[in-house]
Structure 1
Amino acid sequence: MTETSTVLRTGRKFDQVLKGAREVFMADGFEGASVDDIAKAANVSKATLYSYFPDKRLLFREVVQTECGRMSEQILSMVDETQPAREVLTVAAQQLAAFLISRFAQQIFRICVAERDRFPELGRAFYEAGPRNGCKQLMDYLEKAIAKGELQIDDVELAAEQFSELCKAKLWMEVAFGVRTSVEQAEIDVVAHSAVDMFMARYGV
């Protein structure tokens, strides 16, 4: 099947398939994840799995989009845009920094990099659902903060990208290269607060 095949998102076993696929992709990567193992983990038949996802790439993309969407909704639910920009950005930074070093984000990143040449659409799917979507949402907020006179930014897209990179300081690199296997919440908070401090020092009014 081609990447343009449609995905059936209805039916009582859809969530089971996604959950099973998530477990197998996380454990075995993309290439190592077999349809048999995914069907077994989801407790469905191969026929049922194929009725939802005729192509493994579609299934991977759906897992990524679902998880990134859940993360985005979580951040938005915790943000109160009536609060000062520093407080809003601190909440966003804490959540983003934690997600970037989460087991899911790290494993999906590794899969996308490992399969970049053979399956470039995997990386594009993660980029669009994760980093790019997050950047767009942050840009929307920054525009509002600018309109309220809290921030002064000429290039909003660049500023949003810079904010995301600040949230990766120190911890992301250590986790990505296996230097660290666990991170305390207090360490995440330090990175998040420092990111906001630097961002506000540059763009705050």
Structure 2
Amino acid sequence: MDKPEKAPGKREARKQDRREAILAVARSAFLENGYSGASMSAISAELGGSKGTLWGYFPSKEELFAAVLDDATAAYRQQLGDLLKPSDDLHATVLQFCRGFVTKITSPEALRLHRLVAAEVNRFPEVGQIFFRRAPQPTLELLAGFFAAEMEAGTLRRDDPHRAARVLASLCMGGAQQRMIWGQEISAEERDQEAVAAADIFMRAYAPE
């Protein structure tokens, strides 16, 4: 019989609370000032502690940025893990993914983050690399694993599942998100229509032969 998980002690709880506070301040700093404009010193001053405390949790700004991305996408990754499982209605699962993905990438925070990365990646290539590894890549890997199983079961035509994942993500990103990044107002109804269209196009393209 499995033993119940032990509740964290007061010291561990304080450390976790402190870490969460750091991530909240850093998240605001990156979104408001960009990667280059957000300094470890300013984040430490905002927190009200010593700079050494901040560096004790995150030895570099790159690691702090990566942790902010992990924190921002953790709940979404959990939702995907729960969604992308074998079902009797593949089209419904793909549509649900598309709706959730379009909602995620067109949220105000996601749009600001995409603009931030696009603006700074030429000067700071590590920003783009960290962003891809922490945000798009885990989603693509989960989607590819799901598609690989569906192709094996014969419910999708055989192809490279990673390419299929990129195709579906591109279909979702090619409409509302692109227009919203450049400042256009897109209604929730229009975004849902984009998700429906992406799912329909994908399912027709990958229908079993």
TM norm structure 2: 0.83
Please tell me the residue identity of whatever aligns with 2:105.
Answer: L
**Structure 2 gap ranges (5+):** 1-13
- Tell me if the contact between 1:139 and 1:156 (Cα under 8 Å) persists in the aligned partners: yes
Partner of 2:184: 179
- Tell me if the contact between 2:84 and 2:142 (Cα under 8 Å) persists in the aligned partners: no
* 2:91 is aligned with 1:81: no
Deviates more, 1:72-81 or 1:129-138: 72-81
Partner of 1:11: 15
Partner of 2:121: 116
* SS at 1:151 equivalent: coil
Please tell me the residue identity of whatever aligns with 1:62.
Answer: A
Give the Å deviation of 1:80: 4.9
Give the Å deviation of 1:198: 0.3
* 2:25 is aligned with 1:20: yes
* SS at 1:122 equivalent: helix
* 2:70 is aligned with 1:65: yes
Give the Å deviation of 1:115: 2.1
**Structure 1 gap ranges (5+):** 1-9
Aligned length: 194
Q: Which structure shows the higher helix fraction?
A: 2
Give the Å deviation of 1:127: 0.7
- Tell me if the contact between 1:53 and 1:59 (Cα under 8 Å) persists in the aligned partners: yes
CA distance in 2, matches of 1:42, 1:145: 48
* 2:107 is aligned with 1:102: yes
CA distance in 1, matches of 2:29, 2:142: 30
* SS at 1:118 equivalent: coil
Please tell me the residue identity of whatever aligns with 1:187.
Answer: E
Give the Å deviation of 1:193: 0.9
CA distance in 2, matches of 1:25, 1:115: 12
Give the Å deviation of 1:79: 4.6
Instruction: Give every structure 1 segment of 4 or more consecutive aligned residues whose post-TM-superposition deviation is greater than 6 Å.
Output: none
CA distance in 1, matches of 2:103, 2:48: 31
Using a 3 Å threshold, how does the CA distance of structure 1 residues 149 and 53 change in structure 2: closer, same or farther? same
Partner of 2:11: none
Give the Å deviation of 1:43: 4.9
Question: Pairwise CA RMSD of aligned residues?
Answer: 2.0
For residue 196 of structure 2, the aligned residue among 182, 193, 196 is: 193
- Tell me if the contact between 2:84 and 2:146 (Cα under 8 Å) persists in the aligned partners: no
- Tell me if the contact between 2:25 and 2:46 (Cα under 8 Å) persists in the aligned partners: yes
Give the Å deviation of 1:156: 1.9
TM norm structure 1: 0.85
Matched residues, percent identical? 26
